Amino acid sequence: MSPIFELPSFDDLIADAVVVSLPMRVRFRGITTREALLLRGPAGWGEFAPFVEYDDEEAAHWLRAGIEAAWLGPPPSIRATVPVNATVPAIDASAVPELLERFPGSRTAKIKVAEKGQSLADDIARVNEVRRHIPNVRVDANGGWSVDEAVVALRALTEGGELEYAEQPCASVEELVRVRAAGTGVRIAADESIRRAEDPLRVVRAGGADVAIVKVPPLGGMRAVVALSTQLAEYGVPVVVSSALDTAVGMASGLAAAAALPELPFACGLGTGGLFVRDIAVVDPAISGALSVGAVEPDPSILAQLTATPERTAWWLGRVRRCHRILDQRGALNFV
């Protein structure tokens, strides 16, 4: 199929759609169950799973990404495996060893920090415990610090060892610029300032990022990630392809995007499948901290067990209809 094609009709889009509800091992992003709508098209499976708080305009990018996967398929790959990091939620330090058992062979870990209701001491204890098991650590504050808090925290967190980078320490571009200029010795990575921005290059042009975190669904697809990564390379900013807490189907798109990039200097954040009690397919485990690239076919028996309630299915179908209307207004889909 050409990378420019007409939007499938709503009826075609949902003909084989399944809404699933995946219980999680630990709370992550404030949720304990992850819902997703899986689409089936001529090229395979795609995923539509914008978080429930996102409005329809933002969620439409996620539908576009799901259509690309199911109707067009992935871009050409240049590697068969992608290195991935372990993901450590804002859990107590004592729970870290058990959680890391879900990420065998990982040499890099991303650790959530700046959780509401927790202290910097909690973050330090968690990071230092991860360091006992994994050599390379990075932290993700999800914009939870002020500039002053970020500077203090990053200096404290590096007393026990280096940080590979700090992801979105503050919410705004202007704050990221100030933290980066503060001389903490820690690279600053932008996530929300890229994937939730009208101009994803603004933070880089402003001097607020050393590393760019890119995610397939909010950017509108695998090819959009590859195109943005090419633009970022012109500024000397490397990318890390990360998960949006995807199911195995969505994760396949993230791995495909990462596999299409010329360079991958950092491990990607695509190992979050270990956070689910059960995923929609049995996939190969990470080997030496890397995941294989390839299409994923959901297991019908697992889908039957994880199918969401009729009420939640109706809610998701209504959301698809609204997002489909938004895409329809934009005309043909162009994935060039």
> Which residue positions form the known binding site for Mg(2+)?
140, 167, 191
Token pair for residue 3? 């990378």
For residue 290, list its beta bridge partners.
83, 287
Question: Got the DSSP string for 115-178?
Answer: -TT--HHHHHHHHHHHHTT-SEEEEE-TTBS-HHHHHHHHHHHTTTS--S-EE--BSSHHHHHH
- For the annotated catalytic residues, the residue numbers are 112, 215
Question: Positive or negative, the Cα torsion across 328, 22, 269, 42?
Answer: negative
* Amino acid identity, position 109: A
The overall longest dimension of the chain from CA atoms, in Å, is 57
- How far, in Å, CA of 184 to CA of 62, rounded? 35
Q: Where on the phi/psi map is residue 113: left (φ > 0), alpha (ψ -120 to 50), or beta?
A: beta
**Token couple for 92:** 């107590």
Known binding-site residue numbers: 140, 167, 191
What three-state secondary structure class fits 104?
coil
Which of these, 118, 41, 107, lies nearest to 333 by C-alpha position? Answer: 41
Task: Please tell me the distance from the alpha carbon of residue 232 to that of residue 210, in angstroms, as a whole number.
Answer: 10
